[in-house]
């Protein structure tokens, strides 16, 4: 019996082999036919035209006769050079990427029937449009459950009942991952074969794919690439049920293969790589707690701390520093005391609070496929004596200082460049407590809410004032000269305008630049005169100017033939400090501050009025973003390879964040490249 089966198998193989060869030829011809629209003009009648579209053995014809359109869907098969359909047969005389020449074979001989020439738009733009058309058609063929499903295969229609899996870079849209990382099958790319694959894979509780299967596809070579990319997926934050427990799930992704779009992507990637070589890039987004508020960690700890401030023994505050290690899933794996506060009980309490914190969003490394990484945070915690003495609160200045510190500029109004005034009345009861603060005048309810919230910091404290004032004036002002400070202001809340665009500073004339050159422009030597014509800055003192009109501050270059530094001067011609050079000019203002330097090259920050906000002390610092900046006290400048000395980056092993008051927020682990 075994021998009989072997002979039968060999006989079957010999019989099938020619058929397989024929099928291969048909498949090659089909690959050229499919995924295109062939515009046809039949010779029988000049008013008779049609469009042919071949796709997956389905032949869609659109006939146009006397401006009336009719659609017929049919199936076809390829036999040698003949296209056989249910109604008519055509013999293929020529078939290339751009041209189809065929002849209609009628059932009965008809004199005068000639070959029909079909052409399609094979331009780059035409290919893009055709691929986009096909992609839209394929996406509508929703025969699969795209996205998350239970491990049993049942789709999860209400995603609010679970926490879906989330990848570091691609979030929930994995199609972008496959499209951006794929290597198009070489032979199919040459033939401009478009198509798609739909892959389903299982995600375990570690967020890793364990098995995969192709649900539907156009070509087996597409499948191989999709399976390769699926196996190389970095881990995601796993799916969780409504109770936060990790759960296995199925995930289904539609992956389009579009030849011209792929060529466009490869070209864009090569250009992007060259740009990266010549620019400063942060490869990582640091882990964060809650909504990336820099104070969220310390606020979480402080809200849960309970301690007897009497143990401070008269000290205003003491500080402890604690190290938190977060894994690539956002889980806290280790907490230790880096420098204790001096009271072991308090240190232990902080460690227990941190261990009980909810999950973090882990560090993301954007290079390559985009992966979650482990990270380390160093968190300072202050133990304060919040009970002020009578001498402190008997002072009107203490009240104003506390209100100023507590009152916050509404972020939405800051972004809209809105300013405002708020008038508030209050009363003191018999024990010295502020009661019933009321707003009697305000131009925006968000300003009103910010002021009333600020009073929460003083309403629980007994206050005795020599001459209590029952009306206070709050002014919300942006850092620009358009709105003067109200002379009756008690509490001044200054924030920053939303315009961070680098501009040539222009104010009402105070110092005006003059030159002997035909045109006054950046880069020519100047002198500065005041409005009366007095020479404040003599001609030739500086190499050339960056600012033509100065009211508060302006920028000039040292009079050096080489390596000239930028100097900031005020409207009296006084030199204030050196300015960090960026993009061959002074540093851009971001969030109201720009980078400055001292004689030794250390970096600090100043505002747009020339006030030094943070003294130069850092080896390198980034611009402010979101109320914080990343700085370092060590490291060295290195040249970007192949930039011929024009581009550099800063390499350091230790970075940390500070706020605009130079308070240390959190320490970070080093990034692969920091500039």
Model confidence band, residue 284 (pLDDT cutoffs 50, 70, 90): low
- The reported pLDDT for the residue numbered 354 is 92
Give the tens place of pLDDT for each residue, 572-588: 788 999 999 887 788 98
Find the mean pLDDT for residues 468-478.
Answer: 82
What is the C-alpha to C-alpha distance for residues 120 and 662, in angstroms, rounded to an integer? 65
Residue 262 has pLDDT above 70, yes or no: yes
- The reported pLDDT for the residue numbered 391 is 46
Give the tens place of pLDDT for each residue, 404-416: 878 888 877 877 7
Look at strands 491-495 and 471-478 and give their pairing: parallel
Q: What SS3 state is found at 562? A: coil
Contacts (Cβ under 8 Å, ≥6 apart) of 336: 322, 323, 351
- Bridge-partner residues for 372, per DSSP? 364
Average pLDDT, the chain: 77
pTM beyond 0.75: the answer is no
- The Cα-based distances of 271 to 267, 276, 575 in angstroms read 6, 9, 42
- The reported pLDDT for the residue numbered 348 is 92
For 601, which DSSP code? -
What is the C-alpha to C-alpha distance for residues 461 and 265, in angstroms, rounded to an integer? 63
- Say which range, 431-440, 462-471, 561-570, has the weakest mean pLDDT: 462-471
For residue 241, the surrounding DSSP H or E stretch is none
- The reported pLDDT for the residue numbered 403 is 86
Residue 567 has pLDDT above 90, yes or no: yes
Q: Where are the beta strands (DSSP E) in 432-501?
A: 434-442, 471-478, 491-495
């Amino acid at each position: 019996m075994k021998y009989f089966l072997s002979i039968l198998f060999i006989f079957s193989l010999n019989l099938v082999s020619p058929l397989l060869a024929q099928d291969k030829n048909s498949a090659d011809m089909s690959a050229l036919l499919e995924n295109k629209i062939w515009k046809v003009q039949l010779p029988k009648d000049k008013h008779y035209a049609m469009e042919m579209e071949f796709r997956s053995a389905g032949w869609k014809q659109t006939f146009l006769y006397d401006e009336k359109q009719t659609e017929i869907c049919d199936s076809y098969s390829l036999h040698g050079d003949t296209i056989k359909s249910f109604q008519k047969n055509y013999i293929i005389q020529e078939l290339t990427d751009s041209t189809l020449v065929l002849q209609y074979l009628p059932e009965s001989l008809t004199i005068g029937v000639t070959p029909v020439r079909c052409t399609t738009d094979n331009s780059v733009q035409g290919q893009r449009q055709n691929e986009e058309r096909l992609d839209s058609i394929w996406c509508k063929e929703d025969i699969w459950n795209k996205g998350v499903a239970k491990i049993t295969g049942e789709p999860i229609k209400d995603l609010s009942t679970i926490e879906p899996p989330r990848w570091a870079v691609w979030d929930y849209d994995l199609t972008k991952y496959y499209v951006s990382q794929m290597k198009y099958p070489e032979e199919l790319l040459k033939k401009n074969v478009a198509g798609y694959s739909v892959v389903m894979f299982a995600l375990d509780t570690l967020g890793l794919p364990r098995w995969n299967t192709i649900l539907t596809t156009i070509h087996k070579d597409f499948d191989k690439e999709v399976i390769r990319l699926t196996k190389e997926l970095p881990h995601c934050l796993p799916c969780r049920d409504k109770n936060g427990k990790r759960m296995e799930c199925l995930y289904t992704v539609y992956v389009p293969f579009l030849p011209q779009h792929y060529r466009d992507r490869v070209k864009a990637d090569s250009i992007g790589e060259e740009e990266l070589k010549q620019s400063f890039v942060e490869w990582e987004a640091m882990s964060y707690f809650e909504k990336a508020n820099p104070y969220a960690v310390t606020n979480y700890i402080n809200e849960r701390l309970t301690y007897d401030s009497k143990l401070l023994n008269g000290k205003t505050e003491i500080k402890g520093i604690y190290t938190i290690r977060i894994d690539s899933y956002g889980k806290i794996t280790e907490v230790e005391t880096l420098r204790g506060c001096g009271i072991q009980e308090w240190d232990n309490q902080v460690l227990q609070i941190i261990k009980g914190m909810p999950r973090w969003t882990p560090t993301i490394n954007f290079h390559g496929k985009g992966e979650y990484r482990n990270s380390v945070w160093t968190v300072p915690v202050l133990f304060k004596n919040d009970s002020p003495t009578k001498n402190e609160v008997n002072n009107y200045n203490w009240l104003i200082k506390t209100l100023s510190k507590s009152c916050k500029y509404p972020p939405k109004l800051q972004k809209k460049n809105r300013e405002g005034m708020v008038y508030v009345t209050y009363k003191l009861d018999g024990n010295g407590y502020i009661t019933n603060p009321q707003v009697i005048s305000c131009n925006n309810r968000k300003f009103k809410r910010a002021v009333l919230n600020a009073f929460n910091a003083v309403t629980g404290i007994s206050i005795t004032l020599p001459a209590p004032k029952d009306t206070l004036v709050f002014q919300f002002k942006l850092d620009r000269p358009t709105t003067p400070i109200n002379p009756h202001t008690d509490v001044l809340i200054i924030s920053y305008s939303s315009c961070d665009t680098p501009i040539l500073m222009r104010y009402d004339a105070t110092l005006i630049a003059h030159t002997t050159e035909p045109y006054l422009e950046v880069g020519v030597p100047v002198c500065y005169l005041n409005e009366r014509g007095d020479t404040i800055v003599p001609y030739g003192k500086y190499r050339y100017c960056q600012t033509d009109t100065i009211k508060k501050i302006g920028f000039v270059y040292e009079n050096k033939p080489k390596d000239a530094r930028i100097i900031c001067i005020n409207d009296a011609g006084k030199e204030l400090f050196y300015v960090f050079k960026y993009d061959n000019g002074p540093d851009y203002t971001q969030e109201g501050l720009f980078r400055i330097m001292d004689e030794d090259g250390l970096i600090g920050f100043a505002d747009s009025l020339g006030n030094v906000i943070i003294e130069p002390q850092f080896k390198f610092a980034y611009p402010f973003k979101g109320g914080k900046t990343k700085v370092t006290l060590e490291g060295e400048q290195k040249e970007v390879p192949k930039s011929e000395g024009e581009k550099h980056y800063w390499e350091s092993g230790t970075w940390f964040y500070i706020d605009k008051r130079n308070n240390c927020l959190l320490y970070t682990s080093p990034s692969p490249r920091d500039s």
